[in-house]
A and B are shown apart, each in its own frame.
Chain A
């Protein structure tokens, strides 16, 4: 019952979670991808009159809390809404930006004008056509303070949105934003009909996605029906039901009894109990477990203190012994295209002598005491064990850690106020490193106080990253960002946790994604 009902540090991690990172991906995933019938014709065939209806049931421990995509942040709401609404761009299974509602886009020479060409065959679920006016109205509503959309920050560089043709939208920017196409793939920038009344549409969603809302009984179930007019072909599934089963053990039982076909878990112990014919996939997520420092206050404003800690903490031990091996050790950037090398840091292996030296340089040869906040009510289930493991490790160099295990509400309050010395956190990741860290490490970013560190070098690098649109050059810039973060020991990045996806027999074509998205439901079929 340690199921978090809301998203705390991972908050808004709708589009979080990690890449199919190298060796970490189990082979069956690629096997699955190969057999995936990519909707279209197969889908229509499966929907023929004589075929058995394909009604997939997804087990979930929480219900959607908001059906308006612009303000939805809870991961479950985000992944349901991604199936109902469309965005201008989308992310493929490796989290690369691919066309969505816009089939093409062009960036001007000075990178201050971006022109999107919309598909012409797209309709909303109520039958009306998608035009440039819908895009303009949606983006303007997101930028309106009244809407209180979290995605407003993604459009911060946008000066104006204009319909330059019925199916052409032009965005004028105040400064270049190389991450824009990636930002416009996030569910919170979804396109709603221009004439939508927000109160009505929060109840009766009307999107352009592969599925439309059929019914929703709060705390019980939400059912989606296939959209026969979806621009990328009708899904093979006739319906998807997100059934609320609050207890995760009970979801396991429902899988075993064949009542539920698909479910995602993050607790490895629970996953071990499943067994039977249920297929399990482990996917490293974009989100990351990290030891945050408040570098704006003593004694952590001293780089030597931070380095002493960074050189002491054995990330592999935290992962293996406290977190039961449920993840992969990571560097700062978990985005697949910009992945940091986890060993590219001052102490790839723990080095206690060096740590002692740093501590002495900082004037704490006799040791010091630090407090650490951690979420105590089971999110993630191993958080307190990880904190205790780190506590024991730091004890070796004379740093005494006092752990404060807080209830999630208090934790979020303290974390947002930057009212801590050390914080063990599970933060959400993003496919683009600017979206992921700009708000933390740019000196006027809205989470910079929480990040506890800023420097001219970082400000400059992030500015360059936005100006650059060429992918290889961008990668070099963010490699430097990553190196700077590690050399200054801004935080200690520990690992990217796995998400475990359980698939019942007969489910094919489903590909779990590193951002937790259930986008591939449109390519999934069910044979019983």
Chain B
């Protein structure tokens, strides 16, 4: 039940989101055109020089490149609004079909990676905060530093290479199995990439947790709770941790949003056919409609995740609700 006061910010938010998406669409459209070459040179490479003028005309018409830019943009935007995201001549599929296949892959990978990050990051952050500058703090900080410092392409290649060479374990060398087709193989294929990505994201989660816990612990209500005789374990869980979660949720929401943009590098290394790869392959082929529509889908997800994060605040922190 929305009162007028609550409705106003909601409408503002939706309008803001729509504006963000439109801006994103324009930016991608312009950037794609600014890249030298077009779909014809991408497909034919230097062989394009061997095409006659008539052949070239026929190709330009086929790919819709003979229209003025502004017409190309609104034709595309118009079809997107009616649910037609475009067609890929390379895969002979509509972008909607392609996205229906790649989005679940990316979603699953993102959720698993976030789980790994939270399971590693939060306990490590609490451990580090429990006694600053002690050995455990240095340990936690060290792990975080490693997570931040080691690039995922290096870690990914290393983990994959080690597992294959030493144990002959390489589920990712098999054909990608969808969760509903072969859940066991699918989870094996997600295992290494989720771990690698999760490790990278665990670092900021750990650091945020540590800082937040230290800050909350110094607040008055904790002293009051202690004075009232709340047992230490309960104090840590219900008072300190719960109140430290707001920045952690923000941090996680942001990371999740980025992950949905496709963990391009990890998807490449572990051969996962997710959104990131869909964009990269389409970029290389200069398939404008595929890149534009996929980026729009990613932007939409990002906006939705941000919205969800905001709603989550309200659950965790009553003060946000009151505002």
Contacts and interface: CB of A to CB of B under 8 A. Distances in A.
Interface string B152-173: 0100010011011100111011
A286 to B, nearest CB: 15
A478 interface: no
B49 interface: yes
A6 B44 CA distance: 8
Contact of A250 (B48, B169, B269): B269
B285 interface: yes
Given A6-B284, A220-B176, A146 B45 contact: no
A474 interface: no
A12 B44 contact: yes
Nearest to B53: A145
B281 A252 contact: no
Interface stretch (A36-44, A229-237, A409-417): A409-417
B54 A259 contact: no
A381 interface: no
B271 A244 contact: yes
Contacts of B88: 218
A407 interface: yes
Contacts of B286: 409
A326 to B, nearest CB: 21
Contacts of B273: 217, 219-220
B52 to A, nearest CB: 6
A416 B48 contact: yes
B229 interface: no
A9 B55 contact: no
A74 interface: yes
Interface in A249-302: 249-250, 252-254, 256-260, 273
A439 B277 contact: no
B2 interface: no
B75 interface: no
B161 A252 contact: yes
A58 interface: no
Contacts of B36: 407, 409-410, 412-413
B46 A9 contact: yes
Contacts of A1: 153, 265, 268
A434 interface: no
Contact of B173 (A152, A202, A203, A259): A259
A73 interface: yes
B278 A219 contact: yes
Contacts of A11: 44-48
B104 to A, nearest CB: 14
A409 B160 contact: no
Chain A interface mostly: loop
B58 A241 contact: no
Contacts of A152: 52, 55
B268 A256 contact: no
B238 interface: no
Given A145-B58, A260-B173, A65 B45 contact: no
A450 interface: yes
B165 A148 contact: no
Contacts of B42: 6, 409
Given A256-B170, A257-B164, A257-B170, A145 B54 contact: yes
Question: Taking chain B's interface residues, is the majority helix, strand, or loop, or is none over half, making it mixed?
Answer: helix
A148 B39 CA distance: 14
Given A5-B284, A241-B175, A253-B160, A413 B90 contact: no
The residue in B161, B173, B174 that gathers the most chain A C-beta atoms within 10 A of its C-beta is B173
A153 interface: yes
Contacts of A6: 42-43, 45, 284-285
A427 to B, nearest CB: 8
B188 interface: no
A73 B90 CA distance: 13
A221 interface: yes
Contacts of B173: 59, 245, 250, 253-254, 257, 259-260
B90 A148 contact: no
Contacts of A148: 51, 55-56, 58-59, 62
Nearest to A447: B49
A73 B160 contact: no
A73 B44 contact: yes
A275 to B, nearest CB: 8
Contacts of A7: 45-47
Interface in B89-131: 90-93, 98
B37 A249 contact: no
B314 interface: no
A412 B37 contact: yes
Contacts of A260: 173
Given A66-B90, A256-B168, A260-B173, A150 B50 contact: yes
A63 B92 contact: no
A450 B46 CA distance: 10
B270 interface: yes
B285 A416 contact: no
Contacts of B37: 409-410, 412-413
B59 A254 contact: no
A142 to B, nearest CB: 11
B153 to A, nearest CB: 7
Given A6-B45, A73-B45, A249 B160 contact: yes
Contacts of A147: 55
4 nearest CB pairs, A to B: A11-B45, A254-B173, A259-B173, A218-B91
Interface of B: 35-37, 41-52, 54-56, 58-59, 62, 88, 90-93, 98, 153, 157, 160-161, 163-165, 168-170, 172-176, 265, 268-271, 273, 277-278, 281, 284-286
Given A8-B46, A218-B92, 20 more contacts: A6-B285, A7-B45, A10-B45, A12-B44, A12-B50, A73-B43, A145-B52, A145-B58, A148-B56, A150-B44, A218-B90, A218-B93, A219-B91, A250-B172, A253-B164, A256-B168, A409-B35, A412-B45, A447-B49, A447-B50
9 contacts: A5-B281, A6-B42, A11-B44, A71-B43, A73-B44, A148-B56, A152-B52, A250-B173, A250-B268
